Amino acid sequence: MKKIFGEHKTKKKQDASEQWISVSDLMTGLMVVFLFISIALMRHALIERDKIKSIAVAYQQNQVAIYDALLLEFSKELNAWNAQIDKDTLAFEFKSPDILFSKGSYELSESFQTMLRDFFPRYMAVLDKFKESIKEVRIEGHTSSQWGEMTSVDEAYFYNMELSQARTRSVLSYIQSLESLEGQKDWIRSHVAAVGLSSSKPIVDEEGKEDSDKSRRVTFRVITNADIQISKIIQE
């Protein structure tokens, strides 16, 4: 009987050993599968990273190209118009509040109308080469934080919001009326927006004190569609 029981235990050990080998083989196989999955995912992530990187590089090159084209076209007029072009934001900024509008008014001055008749058709001609990469052109109106002595900070902000919005709408309405842009009105309607920013982005000096005159300005800012291209890659 002992021999029989002894043989039985040995057989059990052999079966258990064979089962362990089978489980080990299964685990090894699964690890290999997971390894291949990890490699595939890593490869996909690297491909996506390279795509996004290529868009970022193209975006930077496009930004520089637009800036250089605007600077080449308007370099002679910048001082006369008291204007500047920001290389990082592609904002073409008119900085003379007295030339743009009367204080507290949203009606364009004669001087500003004259500038716009010269500026905007040429501005559109420059952007025409880059239209496929342009998401939007924003006409941004900025004011100082001031309004009246008896006006609270919140009231002044919203009064200036109405004023800045009205001013940008006046600018947009005026450029839409220019006969020289008759063939581009559809593009202007779908890509040019009027945005009043009130005093949300004031110009301050080195001590952090607001410069009221410099804060009153109008900018034309180009926004490219790089973010849309990156979103498409992520969604895909």
pLDDT in tens, 23-43: 666 677 777 777 778 777 777
The pTM of this model reads 0.73
Locate 52 and state its tokens.
């996004």
Specify the 3-state DSSP secondary structure of 201: coil
Beginning with the edge strand found earlier in the chain, give each strand of the sheet holding 192-196 in spatial order. Answer: 83-85, 91-94, 217-224, 134-142, 192-196
- Using the structure block, give the residue that is written with the tokens 């072009």: 85
Token match 């001055």: residue? 109
Hey, is 86 helix, strand or coil? coil
pLDDT digits over 153-201, tens only? 999 999 999 999 999 999 999 999 999 999 999 999 999 999 999 999 9
Question: What one-letter code names the amino acid at 64?
Answer: V
pLDDT at 94: 95
Give 75-128 pLDDT, tens digit per residue.
Answer: 999 999 999 999 989 999 999 888 899 888 999 999 999 999 999 999 999 999
Burial grade of 175 (CB within 10 A; 0-12, 13-18, 19 or more): buried
Kindly give, in sequence order, each residue whose CB lies less than 8 Å from that of residue 23, ignoring residues fewer than 6 positions away. none
